[in-house]
Amino acid sequence: MAKEKKPKKEKSQLAENWTYLDKRECLNCGEPLPDQYSKKRTYCKEVRDENGNLIKDCKGIYNRLLDQPELEVHREIIKEHKTVDDMIEAMVAKKGDMVSTADLNAYDIQLSASLKYRLSPNGTLESDFLKYTIVSNPIHNTHKIYSHG
């Protein structure tokens, strides 16, 4: 490598003088962040239009994204399990607390949708839902439903 002039530290904030040696990237959009940005900065600078409206707000977007998905997923899970619980409740009302696999299927109750499950040494499978536990005997294809809510 031949002599390479070290770029002078310019006071200028012109983009053409920016360097990207630190290889920092905006957490939101992945745009490279110039070394000239404060070390603490982890997002692009916000950009406003002439009316002062935010047109680029990586920090805001990222924070909203951070908040949302988990909440959304959580809500979805709760919603889904409430539905499964409703199905179980409806089935128990009609069929009692000892049902067959065909009954589960008829009510579209998927054991795999349980919050958690345990496989006992004797071969039974316990599937936990929000309000119910279903203990399944795979040999007899019977399922006993316990309410715990």
Nearer to Zn ion, 44 or 109 (CB): 44
Joined together, the tokens standing for residue 113 give: 């949708």
Q: Indicate which single residue of 13, 22, 29, 147 sits in contact with Zn ion (rule: CB under 5 A).
A: 29
Q: Residue 56 gets which letter from DSSP?
A: E
Nearer to Zn ion, 46 or 72 (CB): 46
Binders of Zn ion among residues 54 to 93 (CB under 5 A) are 58
Distance between CA atoms of residues 3 and 139, nearest Å: 80
Contacts of residue 129, Cβ cutoff 8 Å, sequence gap at least 6: 81, 84, 85, 88, 113, 114, 115
Nearer to Zn ion, 19 or 110 (CB): 19
CB of 59 to Zn ion, least distance (A): 8
CB of 29 to Zn ion, least distance (A): 3
CB of 69 to Zn ion, least distance (A): 18
Joined together, the tokens standing for residue 87 give: 């199905």
Q: By C-alpha distance, which of 30, 28, 6, 29 is closest to 19?
A: 6
**133 is a contact residue toward Zn ion (CB under 5 A):** no
Q: How big is the chain by its Cα radius of gyration, in Å? A: 29
- Which position has the token pair 């067959």? 100
Distance between CA atoms of residues 86 and 114, nearest Å: 14
Nearer to Zn ion, 58 or 109 (CB): 58
CB of 61 to Zn ion, least distance (A): 8
Choices 26-34, 107-115, 124-132, 133-141; region in contact with Zn ion by CB under 5 A: 26-34
Query: Contact, 112 vs 98, CB < 8 A?
Result: no
**31 is a contact residue toward Zn ion (CB under 5 A):** yes
Residues found near Zn ion in the complex (CB under 5 A): 26, 28-29, 31, 44, 58
